[in-house]
């Protein structure tokens, strides 16, 4: 007889892994299906210094610890797969993979996370992987002794710019506003780093080069003046787009393509919850994703009991 899990979790970022830890600890048979590497955005983060109880850790280390915890409690994790079908109506939910495998469960937690938001300017697509990056941890070493631009003004942009100074000779932060949106400590740390300079109230308009990135066109927004900045690479940190394309028409999405949930993270479909960067929220941190995963898992446990 084919196994029917108590809960299937779609996504193995901070939210999905936390949900897996809580649901498997509650003796619910739990399966996590993840389309990429386990850890989600955590593995793209160079340093996590504000996770309660942990002074400082690498993102991939925290992800590995969460993965081990989930597995130790009995959670099954299948990664590097591709989901082609979500059938979430009815008492038993079905998720179909590209290779034809079908998994069934009584409840589902959707935690697909998000992907880096692109700039959407000329040159971005053609130089992707040849100077354009969305992950300082992954690609910083390739720019040792070189000049790079960092686009963004939130915590991610500021913290990753500081991380890049371990490799790059010069880091230029280009931000569209006259102030940063990051926390004070992140702003101060970037501001006192001698390798970092700032171009404020400006946006990139084009990325150009010859096989690899050589320069970017920067527009000063108040004046409209454009100038060229010589760089060897561009790192983009301007937020994330929810990975919900496959869920359109299956669960309600808002205008930002985020999954609509109530205060208990329930969707409008009985037995289907959502957590993490795929739902509407003001703050997107590892800790908020962990909280979402906890709430969703506890909600599943209550749903199955009732």
**Given the residues 135, 232, 278, 292, the one annotated as active site:** 135
Cα(19)–Cα(35) distance, rounded to whole angstroms?
Answer: 17
Vertex 296: Cα angle to 254 and 305 (nearest 5): 125
Question: pTM of the full predicted structure?
Answer: 0.80
Domains of the chain: 4-115+240-305 (3.50.50.60), 118-236 (3.50.50.60)
Q: Is 139 a catalytic residue?
A: yes
Vertex 9: Cα angle to 38 and 248 (nearest 5): 100
Neighbouring CB atoms inside 10 A of 93's CB total 22
**Given the residues 72, 125, 138, 262, the one annotated as active site:** 138
Q: Which two tokens stand for residue 116?
A: 């880096």
Taking a C-beta distance cutoff of 8 angstroms, is the pair 150, 116 a contact? no
Taking a C-beta distance cutoff of 8 angstroms, is the pair 228, 201 a contact? no
**Given the residues 6, 139, 232, 277, the one annotated as active site:** 139
Neighbouring CB atoms inside 10 A of 65's CB total 13
Element (H, E) at 35: none
Q: Is 192 helix (H, G, I), strand (E, B) or coil?
A: coil
Q: Is the dihedral of CA 103, 104, 105, 107 positive or negative?
A: positive
The per-residue pLDDT string of the chain (306 residues; one tens digit each, 9 = 90 and over) reads 468 999 999 999 999 999 999 999 999 999 999 998 898 888 877 678 788 998 888 888 999 999 999 999 999 999 999 999 999 999 999 999 999 999 999 999 999 998 888 999 999 999 988 899 988 877 888 999 999 999 999 998 999 999 999 999 999 999 999 999 989 999 999 999 999 999 999 999 999 999 899 999 999 999 999 999 999 999 999 988 999 999 999 999 999 999 999 999 999 999 999 999 999 988 788 999 999 999 999 999 999 998
DSSP for 261-282?
A: --TT-B-SSTTEEE-STTS--S
């Amino acid at each position: 007889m084919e196994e029917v899990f108590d809960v299937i979790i779609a996504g193995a970022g901070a939210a999905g892994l936390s949900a897996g830890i809580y649901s498997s600890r509650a003796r619910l048979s739990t399966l996590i299906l993840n389309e990429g590497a386990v850890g989600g955005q955590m593995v793209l983060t160079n340093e996590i210094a504000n996770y309660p109880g942990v002074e400082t850790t690498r993102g991939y280390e925290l992800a590995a610890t969460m993965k081990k915890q989930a597995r130790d409690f009995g959670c099954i994790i299948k990664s590097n797969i591709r989901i082609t079908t979500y059938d979430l109506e009815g008492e038993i939910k079905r998720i179909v993979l590209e290779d034809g495998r079908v998994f069934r469960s009584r409840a589902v937690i959707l935690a697909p996370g998000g992907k880096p938001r692109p700039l959407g300017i000329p040159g971005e697509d053609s130089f992707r992987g040849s100077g354009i990056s969305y992950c300082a941890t992954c690609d910083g070493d390739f720019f040792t002794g070189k000049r790079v631009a960092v686009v963004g003004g939130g915590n991610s942009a500021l913290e990753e710019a500081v991380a890049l100074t371990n490799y790059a000779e010069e880091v230029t932060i280009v931000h569209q506003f006259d102030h940063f949106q990051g926390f004070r400590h992140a702003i101060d740390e970037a501001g006192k780093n001698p390798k970092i300079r700032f171009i404020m109230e400006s946006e990139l308009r084009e990325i150009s080069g010859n096989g690899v990135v050589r320069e970017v066109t920067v527009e000063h927004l108040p004046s409209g003046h454009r100038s060229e900045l010589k760089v060897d690479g561009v790192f983009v940190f301007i937020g994330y787009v929810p990975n919900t394309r496959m869920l359109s028409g299956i669960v309600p999405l808002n205008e930002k393509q985020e999954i609509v949930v109530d205060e208990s993270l329930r969707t409008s479909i009985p037995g289907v919850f959502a957590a993490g960067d795929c739902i509407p929220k003001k703050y997107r941190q590892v800790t908020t994703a962990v909280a979402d995963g906890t709430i969703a898992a506890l909600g599943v446990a209550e749903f199955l009991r009732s």
